[in-house]
Amino acid sequence: MPTIKLLKRAELELIDACEWYEKQQKGLSFKFRTSVKDSLNIINLNPKLYSKKYSTDQNFAPINKFPYIIVYWFDEHLNTIFVTSIFHTKRNPERFESE
């Protein structure tokens, strides 16, 4: 099974989202983290499952029940999945490419 590595940007986005959800409702950040873990487990089982979009080499996987996607690429030689972003779907995807 591949290794999953969250890059710094993805880590910060995850922290920000968890803090925001916890402010909205106590315990909601736990549900969000659980959904993220579930999506990462699916990605880990089949890294090529989700399609590439926006003229990038990155795959986009939805997070169940939350308006976020996991943006990642799979390096077959390193057998590693690099998560570059945990991206809110209300943000402009063109901003994603420039950030």
The domain spanning residue 32 has which CATH number? 3.30.2310.20
Give residue-wise pLDDT tens across range 85-95.
Answer: 999 888 665 55
57: confidence class by pLDDT, cuts 50, 70, 90: confident
Count of domains observed in the chain: 1
Work out the pLDDT band at 44, boundaries 50, 70, 90: very high
Q: For residue 32, what are the domain limits?
A: 3-98
Is the pLDDT at 25 greater than 80? The verdict is yes
Instruction: Tell me if 61 sits within 8 A of 74, measured CB to CB.
Output: no
Whether pLDDT at 61 is above 70: yes
What is the pLDDT, as a whole number, of residue 55? 72
- Which residues, other chains included, contact 60 with Cβ-Cβ below 8 Å and sequence gap of 6+? 50, 51, 52, 53, 69, 70, 71
CA 19, CA 98: separation in Å to the nearest integer? 24
Q: What is the pTM of this model?
A: 0.87
Q: What is the 3-state secondary structure (H, E, C) of the chain?
A: CCEEEECHHHHHHHHHHHHHHHHHCCCHHHHHHHHHHHHHHHHHHCCCCCCECCCCCCEEEECCCCCEEEEEEEECCCCEEEEEEEEECCCCHHHHHHC
